[in-house]
Structure 1
Amino acid sequence: MAPQRFREQFDQIQRSMPDVPLAMGPDDSAEFLYEKGVVLARDGEEARLVEDTVRDHFTTMAGLTSDHVRRAGPETNRTGITRIRVGDPGEGDSGGDPTVAHALRSLRTMEGRAGRRLISRNHVVSIAVNACPGDEPVPVPISEPPNPAAAETPYDAGTAVGVLVVDTGLMHDYRAYPLLAHTDGDAQVRECDDDGVLQQYVGHGTFIAGLVAAVAPNTEVTVLGTLNDAGAILECDLGEKLFEAVDRGGWPEVLSLSAGTSNGRADGLLGVHAFMEELREQRTLLVAAAGNNGSATPFWPAAYADLPGWRKSVLSVGALRSDGEFGACFSNHGGWVKAYAPGERLTSALTGFATPVPYVYQHSTYDACRYGFAYACTCQYPPHNGVLSEPGDAPAKPDQVMFEGHAQWSGTSFATPLVAGLVAAHMTAHGERNPRAARAQLLAANTEYAEVRGAHVPALLPPTWRPVPVDPSAGGS
């Protein structure tokens, strides 16, 4: 049974994609979301093989005919992927799609013979993953400095490191925040609703840009609004959008991506694989969030860091709690997560400082950490009531706050730009122009470690980051 916040986020993402019926996967659980009635296959012979095999399989099943299997356009795109319609997306509910599951099973034997994936669900790639972090952004007084604070490295246009952030767009007044003087990119499409209240996930990209600029002032940060719609995009579309991003401004030195999905597999995402193949041939370093599922299940594209062909070109980042000593309760973990950085209650710019703006909490915090941690984690603190609630619960009046610039926010979404900034800062400090070499040097020189689920892992701590103590009697993991 999917937990409360996963269902709440599912509903919001579905509203942002009204023409794309979605299901939870692999059944009524909280692993991932995907498009109903559609599977993905590689263009050409493999797509034809998938189509023919699924059609043959379905004609032997009651209630399904060959008409259920047909191409769902456009047939081809730059990712080399075809969407194949295998059922009626309007049938059934959100608790999984049996038709897609049958299509996947029909190719299982052939995949074993081929030695590689032939078919995939069309997953939703999102910044809104699972039921945690429990906090939405929390206002911070303008008088309180960012955390991490701005490093003292001067900006030099001739040596500035290019960092591309693929996320939500920039707030209209972002240039009022001094650290974003050398940031450019797409505007957030719609910041507020009809009542003038900030929409959920708005400011996510601005917050991330502020973190990069604080850790590495000698950067030119570009923020693209690829994930403006509730922070979500279909897997097949993300691959195309990533190609468009690098076509638009060239391959950056560092690409920061705070979005992803699990898929129940260990070989990547079919819809972004062509982009990942191209990435491997470039100099760009992809720094990717490990995800907030509190799980060891690989989360993509971050988990490419553990595949042989991408270990130099991808750095996966998990989140540490606010003292930097242990893993945050929500952070994904496992051998595929190659580094951890602070990811709880970081302070950056949510908006500029031009006009105060209200925000109404959408999710209610929990009474206790849903992962069983004993410290005051973001699942439960700071407490607030949201608009949404568990079915059957008495609705409580949602809390409203005002943002005047700074905010605190938690998630692997924000640990990731800290590490992107540390790589860029290392490049500046050592005159290193190869971001992949900088990644290797940074990890080799690191002497800090943290404990995550009983394992000692590299902890990359920005010099200007201020740890926030937690109750020492609460334990770490």
Structure 2
Amino acid sequence: MGPLFKHFGLPVYHDAMLFVQMKPQPQHRTFESALAVARAPLGAGLQALAFFERAGLVKRVTPVSKESPHYASRMLVRPAIARGAMPELVGVAGENVDGWSAPTLNLNAALDQRTPGGATSLIELASDADVRQLQLSLAADPTVASVARVPARYLTAKSPSRSSSSLRKKAPVAPGGRIAAVPPSANTMWNLQKIKWNEARGLHGFKEADSIRVAVLDTGIDHQHPDLVDQIGGYTYEHPDLPGASSAQDLIGHGTHVAGTIAAAINNDLGINGVSRATIHAWKIFDDRPDLLKYSDGTAEYAYVVDPVMYLRALIDCADEGVDVINLSIGGGGRPDPTESAAFEALLANGTTIVAAMGNERRDGSPISYPAAIPGVIAVGATNLQDRVTNFSNRGNHITIAAPGDAIWSTLPTYPGQMGWRAERGPDGGWRQGKADVRETDYDAWPGTSMATPHVAGAVAHYLANGGTRNAAAVRNALAASADKVPAMGGQDFTPDFGYGRLNLEQLIVGIGQ
């Protein structure tokens, strides 16, 4: 079947949403001085926001930072609005003022410096028709640092071909866990052979990457999977202040598959081998509610989309915790808003290497996909068994490297789940949820640049563990210098299909210190 997880033809921005970033305000020595500033007259933009709230046009205001007191997620204004006066946004977040809760976009939110660049809130409006007017008003407010549409981010994997399902055999319970789809013998995995995995591990003085922290920002992870349970150092999925608070389960399986390629247990007589023994820190950036996705060609499906607040909170957490590598097997056509850009700049400045998938829209003209196209990010394309670029992998001059991304065996949750649902027309002509696109359990072979990207994330973990420089630019240079110039590159050092070549883990480690 065709790709399920692609973003071509889908909206590049979320409907009826804006990110608003406030300018940082000076700290105050006393509560009274802080409150005096909070009660100062509002700028035109915040007055417009207050007017929109009074008219019932604001559904919700959610601070990106989890440090905001009480996770304030609804903006309310002073009772003065009932008397026809222009309301003020006052007080301390969560404080009760005359029986009303104080709003999110107040002094304390502006003082909250955990969000890179300044305090940011997500404003959700009742209608997309109101976005432009409010955006213009807020942009003119001197207390607002930036206001931007919210870029949509989607998964960048393809559904496994149903034609290959008949080739998957069921197996009995194996020691440590059951297996639904049977992977090949771990020592015959073609993808690991291509990147010279065994040769790298046989190098004199080779060190395991168990001390390296690799963040997987994705659909979640099966933290009890027998091939992953000992590799997980942390898992964040709870967001009690968000309307679609998610469970610990990885319903789609995408994040578990990515994590397995990076760090499934090695030589444990079960399932597959991961590229490394890095420690996985997982952040679930999807909630458990599928969205109706309408494509520009008139078709539709019910699928999962990155939650913008969960995503930005995960990036901020990664910066706070100083993770070494981030795997982002997601993409979308919308340019980053200022908060997303600031988060990436902070991560890169702190030495974190970020790898992201190029996307799977090659047949649609290889549209630019973010975050892969963000400066400083290592963008990864997908190759097949013949060392050729796959028929879905996007091309572009921002690509850094290619890695195996076709029929990649990896872990899936041990419990059932689905990658989405078909959208069907109901009697009234509207869309309704149809049959689920059920996934395998335990293990399966998936294609996608999503599957290529974790090969590079695992390789970077090895590079760092073996003495490589913890600097994103240095890592990129090392990957470029060590990549194999495959025949399909036609003798060129760089092509928009392969970047600097196909990943070679052995040469990446050999090149350290040279």
TM-score higher than 0.5: yes
Question: 1:315/1:49 Cα in 2 relative to 1: closer, same or farther (>3 Å)?
Answer: farther
CA contact (8 A) 1:236 1:271 kept: no
Give the corresponding residue for 1:133.
Answer: 158
1:82 is displaced (CA, Å) by 3.7
CA contact (8 A) 1:43 1:82 kept: no
CA contact (8 A) 1:235 1:272 kept: no
1:460 and 1:49 mapped to 2: Cα distance?
Answer: 59
Give the corresponding residue for 1:273.
Answer: 341
In structure 2, the residue corresponding to 1:119 is in which secondary structure? strand
CA contact (8 A) 1:126 1:261 kept: yes
CA contact (8 A) 1:37 1:100 kept: yes
Greater shift after overlay, 417-426 or 136-145?
136-145
Deviations 1:203-231 (A, max 9, x none): 22221121112453342222233435465
One-letter amino acid of the counterpart of residue 339, structure 1: I
Give the corresponding residue for 2:332.
Answer: 261
Task: Indicate yes or no: 2:233 matched with 1:184.
Answer: yes
CA contact (8 A) 2:22 2:119 kept: yes
Give the corresponding residue for 1:14.
Answer: none
Task: Indicate yes or no: 2:260 matched with 1:210.
Answer: yes
Give the corresponding residue for 1:318.
Answer: 381
Task: Indicate yes or no: 2:301 matched with 1:242.
Answer: no
1:398 is displaced (CA, Å) by 5.3
1:410 and 1:443 mapped to 2: Cα distance?
Answer: 23
Give the corresponding residue for 1:40.
Answer: 20
TM-score, length of structure 2 as denominator length: 0.57
One-letter amino acid of the counterpart of residue 320, structure 1: T
For structure 2, the 5+ residue unaligned runs are 26-39, 62-74, 76-102, 169-180, 239-247, 264-272, 290-303, 507-514
1:223 and 1:259 mapped to 2: Cα distance?
Answer: 14
Question: 1:52/1:299 Cα in 2 relative to 1: closer, same or farther (>3 Å)?
Answer: farther
Question: 1:42/1:424 Cα in 2 relative to 1: closer, same or farther (>3 Å)?
Answer: same
Give the corresponding residue for 1:376.
Answer: none
5 Å-filtered alignment, 1:164-175, equals 164-174=215-225
Question: 1:446/1:419 Cα in 2 relative to 1: closer, same or farther (>3 Å)?
Answer: same
Give the corresponding residue for 1:347.
Answer: 409
One-letter amino acid of the counterpart of residue 142, structure 1: V
1:42 and 1:270 mapped to 2: Cα distance?
Answer: 11
One-letter amino acid of the counterpart of residue 104, structure 2: P
1:33 is displaced (CA, Å) by 4.0
1:216 and 1:49 mapped to 2: Cα distance?
Answer: 57
One-letter amino acid of the counterpart of residue 44, structure 2: D
Give the corresponding residue for 2:322.
Answer: 251
Give the corresponding residue for 1:89.
Answer: 125
Question: 1:106/1:290 Cα in 2 relative to 1: closer, same or farther (>3 Å)?
Answer: farther
Question: 1:253/1:99 Cα in 2 relative to 1: closer, same or farther (>3 Å)?
Answer: same
Give the corresponding residue for 1:282.
Answer: 350
CA contact (8 A) 2:153 2:332 kept: yes
CA contact (8 A) 1:56 1:66 kept: no
1:317 and 1:228 mapped to 2: Cα distance?
Answer: 26
1:246 is displaced (CA, Å) by 4.2
Question: 1:271/1:136 Cα in 2 relative to 1: closer, same or farther (>3 Å)?
Answer: farther
CA contact (8 A) 2:251 2:418 kept: no
In structure 2, the residue corresponding to 1:212 is in which secondary structure? helix
1:293 is displaced (CA, Å) by 4.3
1:239 is displaced (CA, Å) by 2.3
2:371 and 2:44 mapped to 1: Cα distance?
Answer: 30
5 Å-filtered alignment, 1:70-81, equals 72=75, 74-75=104-105, 76=109, 78-79=114-115, 80-81=118-119
Question: 1:4/1:254 Cα in 2 relative to 1: closer, same or farther (>3 Å)?
Answer: closer
Question: 1:228/1:117 Cα in 2 relative to 1: closer, same or farther (>3 Å)?
Answer: same
CA contact (8 A) 2:221 2:249 kept: no
In structure 2, the residue corresponding to 1:40 is in which secondary structure? strand
1:344 and 1:440 mapped to 2: Cα distance?
Answer: 25
One-letter amino acid of the counterpart of residue 215, structure 2: L
Deviations 1:360-385 (A, max 9, x none): 6745xxxxxxxxxxxxxxxxxxxxxx
In structure 2, the residue corresponding to 1:207 is in which secondary structure? helix
Identity of aligned residues (%): 22
1:360 and 1:90 mapped to 2: Cα distance?
Answer: 30
Report which of the two structures shows the higher radius of gyration computed on alpha carbons: 2
1:278 is displaced (CA, Å) by 1.7
1:34 is displaced (CA, Å) by 1.0
In structure 2, the residue corresponding to 1:302 is in which secondary structure? coil
2:434 and 2:348 mapped to 1: Cα distance?
Answer: 50
CA contact (8 A) 2:485 2:501 kept: yes
Give the corresponding residue for 2:295.
Answer: none
1:163 to 209, 214, 222: 214
In structure 1, the residue corresponding to 2:126 is in which secondary structure? coil
In structure 2, the residue corresponding to 1:100 is in which secondary structure? helix
In structure 2, the residue corresponding to 1:221 is in which secondary structure? strand
CA contact (8 A) 2:399 2:498 kept: no
2:459 to 378, 401, 422: 422
